[in-house]
Amino acid sequence: MHELGVFARYWSPGKVKTRLARTIGDEAAAEIYRASLAVTLDRFSAAGDVRTVAFTPLERQAEMQAFAGTCWIARPQASGDLGQRIEHYFSEAFARGATRIVLIGSDSPTLPIAFVYDAWRQLADAPVVLGPAQDGGYYLVGLSQPLPALFADIAWSTPLVWSQTVARLQQLSVRWTELPPWHDFDDQSDLRRLRTELADLLRESPEYQPLVDAIDRTTALP
């Protein structure tokens, strides 16, 4: 059984996209994040056998399930640092019967759907697949077997995430495969790049319109 997970946070102003919020404000950053999550869930709504939105905080269960719709199951993230929360998601997904699990974030709204299907295919031959992000982290991680040690003692939210994760795989003697690089958005320069990318994509993909509207409504990008 193929499962797709999206890690997400409820879009309370001041709680999401804090680096972006320093330049455009908390309200605007929250609105753009909400639109990015909506576009992501819509684009991947038919991918795989099971789709999970792993969200935080716990008390937003009802809102997150209503937002996610019938194609997704909203499940709260565990407590702890990002590594502990990722590890818990994978262990629970395996316990539910998933055999190839791919986890992505909610801030790469233009991620090609083909990358996720490629990840599932690669998990037939390797226990781990990673998608390198341009900021030194990864935008996707997939597993075909539990590997709790993969997510422990990583310097999350730093440019060291990728190199530390690869070193950990080497220490564990675990074979892994790699997808093409992709990007997310964290600050105003990233948002500017995303808006340019969306202008091109909109010509053939109207599904991006809600995100374009949110960006244009809340910011005046130079």
Q: What is the CATH number of the domain that holds 70?
A: 3.90.550.10
Q: Residue 17's domain spans which residues?
A: 2-218
At residue 104, the 3 state secondary structure works out as strand
- 197-211 residue pLDDT tens: 999 998 888 999 999
Angle between the N-to-C axes of helices 209-218 and 188-201, in degrees from 0 to 180, rounded to the nearest 10? 140
At residue 124, the 3 state secondary structure works out as coil
pTM comes to 0.95
H or E element in which residue 2 lies = strand 2-9
In angstroms, what CA-CA distances link 170 with 21, 122, 126, 163?
37, 18, 14, 11
How many domains does the chain contain in total?
1
* Beta carbons of 54 and 102 less than 8 angstroms apart: no
- 104-152 residue pLDDT tens: 999 999 999 999 999 999 999 999 999 999 888 999 999 999 999 999 9
In the chain, % of residues over pLDDT 90: 93
**H helices present in 76-160, as ranges:** 82-95, 113-122
